Amino acid sequence: MKTRQEIKTLSKQQFSNNYWIAVGTTVLAFLIIGTVTAASSFLMGLGALFLAPPILVGLNYFSLCIYRGENPTVETMFSTGFSNYGRKLGGMLWMYLFIYLWTLLFIVPGIIKSLAYSMTPYILADHPNVTAKEALKISMRMTEGYKGDIFVMILSFIGWSLLSGITFGIVGIFYSNPYLYISLAGLYEELKDNALATGTVHASELA
């Protein structure tokens, strides 16, 4: 399994090779989600509930394709996110619900569960035969013993987040946001390969 630095180095290289399409797709996803979320009407609120989750699934898969050295397009995000729509929406809503319920207990359990479920959108996109609830269970097994690695990976971008804030989001738009998404997708790829190699997850479960 690659180290965090190895994943980030490969992610940076693949991001560089696909710079404009990665930036453009990430910006488009954030614009769509931000627009429907910021709308004050009840109907637009429902729109955010039913639109944002598949967009995020699609963006995560787009980032995964970049990490793998493939050549995804903007259409990849939409076609992946909205194909088999009910399954992907259901998986994401289950994930949000469980994280919310755990957070009601205390903040720390909520954070731990959010890390445990963090591979769910990738599994939903990458393995279309895995059911919504099973994706959460596989994510929990895949991340067992590696939640600290996921947390440190996210934490390693805090400097970029601060720099993005100072520049009114410019650094985030043109660099750190797509770089982060590709790096997290790379972490999923490594955790999945590790889980298959160790028998934590069997190939038949993902087929």
Task: Give the total number of structural domains in the chain.
Answer: 1
Q: How confident is the model at residue 156 (pLDDT cuts 50, 70, 90)?
A: very high
pTM of this structure: 0.93
pLDDT of residue 40: 52
DSSP H or E run through 153: helix 147-155
Q: How far is CA 201 from CA 92, 97, 131, 153, in A?
A: 20, 24, 15, 22
Q: How confident is the model at residue 149 (pLDDT cuts 50, 70, 90)?
A: very high
Q: Give mean pLDDT, residues 92-121.
A: 94
Show the CA angle centred on residue 5, arms to residues 122 and 22, nearest 5°. 50
Distance of CA 203 to the CA centre of its chain: 21
pLDDT of residue 165: 94
Q: How confident is the model at residue 122 (pLDDT cuts 50, 70, 90)?
A: very high
- The residue range of the domain holding 156 is 4-206
97 has pLDDT over 80: yes
Mean of per-residue pLDDT scores for the chain: 94
Least confident of 32-36, 79-83, 89-93: 32-36
pLDDT of residue 37: 74
* Nearest one of 149, 135, 156, 113 to 206, comparing CA atoms: 135
